[in-house]
Structure 1
Amino acid sequence: MITVLFAALPDRWAEYEEPLRRALDDTGLAYDLVTEAAPETVDYIVYAPNSKVQDFRPYTKAKAVLNLWAGVENVVKNDTLTVPLARMVDEEGLTQGMVEWVTGHVLRHHLGMDAHIVNPDHDWVPKAAPLAFDRPVTILGLGVLGAACGQMLARLGFPVTGWSRSEKRIDGIRCLHGDDGLAEALTGAQILVLLLPNTPATESVVNADRLALLAPGAAIINPGRGPLIDDDALLAALDSGQIGHATLDVFRVEPLPQDHPFWAHPNVTVTPHIASETRPDSASRVVAENIRRGEANEPFVHLVDRAAGY
């Protein structure tokens, strides 16, 4: 009998209990799924970084911590966590949700839909948008989410350039990497999508110098992490017209403070961290598969590289 501790906020337990039990039942393992347990009896921790579990040292029997979030920046630096840490990679739910959100907002900016949705002066300007192949899109971050979004946009006809810290090869995407590659990826892009993790190396990666590389009037879409953007630099670029619009789903402080300039700026769209989320049914299957692997002495999947921070 293995003990699986669900360590997240209480309202998440109501959403996850039944899906997790179904997924664990399918593994054929004998298990006890609990929200409270003596730490020394716990084999696996199904974890959200905002849970009350912050000191992992008492969990002397634990074989792995299985994160429910795609982001691990709030746990990866925890020195008390020494067992394997897996991040949530849920292609069925989390990835699909991100692909839909990013595609929708890229098309919104590409087609200029805002001018027709909100048109109080009843302006009649019969000018169609260019076709997708004339609208270069750059995606910073070519992990599971960035690759999936890029490939969907490429299938729609957009010329997609992707950038990552290390070299990648992804069908349909021009892949660049390294410092020189970053400047090349940004230069002339008309739509920029940010899907990098939040690490010291990506802090304010979108700064004044890099905003200046984009095509004049470019749109920025950030469903990745708030600290990727230098807020002051973005506001200045919006005011100058270098950036035509920013659609932001993530912020340095959340909820976004009511007095933050993003709320009032006419060329900023604020969405409340809804680009995608972990879906209990599909995420539970990901968690259960890692537990099955642990009990079968097979390698865990989606392990976090502690040095890289993701």
Structure 2
Amino acid sequence: MRAVFADCTEELRRVIETLGLQVPSSVRINHGTPTEAELIELCSDRDVLFVEHTSVPASVFAACPSIRAVIFMGTGAGTYLDLDDATQRGVEVMTTPGYGDRAVAEHTFALMFAAARNIATMDRDLRAGEWKPLGGLQLENQKIAVIGLGGIGATMADLASSVGMRVSAWNRTRKDNPNFVADIDEALDGATVVSLHLSLSAETCGIIDLRRIMLPARGFILVNTARAALVDEHALLEGLSGGQIGHAALDVFPEEPLRATNPYTKLANATVTAHAAYMTDAAYAELWNRTLKAYNRLADRSRL
């Protein structure tokens, strides 16, 4: 069995080399983001495709019938390839959940604090030569609505509890978690902070709409390190301009990379990062190890 890692980032390359992580001889690594034509060439003689951030159109599978499995290095595979088309072609799609739970939760925590204390705003002002001390929100005893109680959401709930926040956490299925509430509207009601940790699906797309944006306390902080489409973007921008949302701290966007003309870049009450919540050396190493474990399972199966 032969595999190709189509889009190794510079950060992951550095981690693999620095930590001396295993790279099987049957795995070819391509550095950078390939075009569709380059992706087809990379996959032409391979059985398994590893992909970290590159969209894989159906034309790649059509041109490369040797590909029998895709290992998506993350959880949201459906955002990057057509899962129904892959199934129809007999291409198995595997994911690597859980590798960055702590990394993403810590980034979410950092964004929450940055928004609460206007860190990015003061940084921008100081760099522009303006001395404008700004007050902020003390988070102890504030209510946080954690929407999604998977590995990341549960870790975020624990971090928020550790600084004395009152956690109200909702999940689509019941969770054995002391902060769990069965009604999303109840979780959102009166919250000072809302933190999103759901996977994106037909059921969750736009789950935070204008009605739900009106449920938390006026001026609340919205943190999203999950998927942009969980929030109705028109409602989000309306909430920011009207003051119902006091600050949006975002790591994900409808269109990435974020363009300089995007409205979020012009808003003083938005703190933005470049879809980097999962990017720590520890998370990258775990991601690579989990990817190889999935590959080894495929290889073992092929030998049966």
- Normalising by structure 2, report the TM-score: 0.77
* Residue aligning to 1:198: 200
| Alignment correspondent of 2:229 | 227
Match of 1:102 among 99, 108, 113: 108
Give the match's secondary structure for 1:97. helix
- With over 3 angstroms needed to count, the CA separation of the structure-2 counterparts of 1:136 and 1:229, relative to structure 1, is same
**CA distances 1:123-159 after superposition (whole Å, capped 9, x unpaired):** 697xx85462x11111212222222222222233222
Letter in 1 for 2:172: R
Q: Does structure 1 retain, via aligned residues, the 8 Å contact 2:44–2:66?
A: no
Q: Larger deviation: 81-90 or 261-270?
A: 81-90
Match of 1:136 in 2: 143
Q: Residues 293 and 19 of structure 1: is their aligned pair in 2 closer, same or farther, counting only changes over 3 Å? A: farther
Cα displacement (A) at 1:121: 6.3
Asked whether the 8 Å contact 1:206–1:229 carries over to 2, the reply is yes
Corresponding residue for residue 289 of structure 2: 285
1:247 pairs, out of 223, 226, 249, with 249
Measured in 2, the distance between the counterparts of 1:174 and 1:102 equals 18
**Cα offset for 1:86?**
2.0
Question: Which structure 1 segments of 5+ residues have no match?
Answer: 26-30, 299-310
1:212 lines up with 2:214 in the alignment: yes
Question: Does the 8 Å contact 1:20/1:288 carry over to 2?
Answer: no
Percent of paired sites with the same residue: 23
Count of matched residue positions in the alignment of Structure 1 and Structure 2:
279
Over residues 39-59 of structure 1, what are the superposed CA-to-partner deviations in whole Å (9 max), with x where a residue is unaligned?
4x62x3222352667433544
Q: Specify the SS of the correspondent of 1:184.
A: helix
How far the C-alpha of 1:219 sits from its partner, in A, is 0.5
* TM superposition score normalised by structure 1: 0.75
Q: Deviations over 1:47-104 (max 9, x none)?
A: 2352667433544573x4211233212225350343432223243xx22321221111
Mapped partners of 2:61, 2:229: distance in 1:
27
1:114-193 matches, within 5 Å, as 130=138, 132=140, 134-170=141-177, 173-177=178-182, 181-193=183-195
Higher helix share: 2
Residue 192 of structure 1, CA deviation: 0.5
Between the aligned partners of 2:254 and 2:264, the Cα distance in structure 1 is 12
Name 2:76's counterpart in structure 1: 71
Structure 2: tracts of 5 or more residues without a match = 30-41
CA RMSD, aligned part only?
3.4
CA drift at 1:167:
1.8
Deviations 1:164-215 (A, max 9, x none): 2222223xx52234xxx11111111110111222222222222110011011
Call closer, same or farther: CA 1:121–1:16 in 2, change over 3 Å.
Answer: closer
